[in-house]
Structure 1
Amino acid sequence: MRFFRRTGLAALCGLTAALLTGCPDKTAQAPVDGGVTGAAAVPDSGPEAVVFTLSYLSPDGGSALIPLALEEKPLVEPTSDLELRSTLGLKNYRVRLMDEADRAMVSGDSVSEADDGLVYRIHLPQPLKTGFSYTLVVDAQTGSSFQDSRGRDVDDLRAAFQIIGDKEKPKPPPPPAKGGKKRK
């Protein structure tokens, strides 16, 4: 009988110890915020590097993306409105639209800047000419480099594209006026 008491007492102590300590690896965690468990609640550090997107306002009124990572120039419909977006804010930068002769185009620009991104809008007085190539350039305003909002250097962007259609021929100069000075 003594044997059963000792064995029963040992079993009771073992069960009590097991119940009191529990199994910590398999306990359910209470949600921290919005159903996310504490182990998975890692703050979002945002994008690692700046990513640019370029779009244009198409003649039908919609917006269309211009691919930036192509070896060939993408074909774009004639437009007078371009929009450049970045995933991080930028410091010491400039944005220019260049024509085939590498001259800056005259445009009315507006910009919305924030640490979480940039929206740069270019409005041209006339639509871009069919058949011609253009390049959107983002580079340093001063010095040799520009930075994102986290202080990291950003590579220059040169996004070339071509307007759909045949090249417009330049208008011939007006004929000379008749009836000017006469020679004797």
Structure 2
Amino acid sequence: MMRSGVVARVNFDEDFDDENEARVHLQVHNIVPPFLDGRIVFTKQPEPVVPLRDSTSDMAVVSRKGCAVVRLHRENKEKKKAQKKEWELAGTNIGNIMGVKKNEEEEDKGDEGSYKDDHKFAEVMQEKNVAVSEFATKHTLRQQRQLLPIYAVRNQFVKKRKFWALNSPKACAGQKKKTAK
């Protein structure tokens, strides 16, 4: 009747915060699974497996060298970039007399020095990686890895792998009887 508007409340409480609140009790359990806490070792081989056994094989040598076409294209591109451009007047004596000014972009390119400077990563590797997010500052790198979805299914995978190792499929071969016709 109150919803239809026929009857109205006399003592109407305008504070809606306390009215019919459903309270939920939340308990958080931060349990680390046994394969992550480091007490149990599931593998008998602690060192990593090297996928390439023979580093002198033809496939390994060719893959290290890379594609000849791509290398040739890259070298030509770098030569063109490093080549001195005589037809540009900016920055030369004739250009200064004629009043031709250098663009700021061209000045930056001239300050690079060698064309190989673009391919050096030493400065990037020496910089310290600073955590960007709040999550990265709170958790260590190992804890961040442990929160990945793969760790949730790792235990199941290990159990199945052990099952198949113990109960490997076996084939039974018998001798067929020959019947005389």
TM-score band (shorter)? under 0.3
Q: Normalization by structure 1: what TM-score?
A: 0.18
Higher normalized contact order (CA 8 Å, seq sep 6+, divided by chain length): 1
The structure carrying a bigger helix percent of its residues is: 2
The structure carrying a bigger strand percent of its residues is: 1
Whichever of the two has the greater Rg, that structure is 2
Q: Normalization by structure 2: what TM-score?
A: 0.18
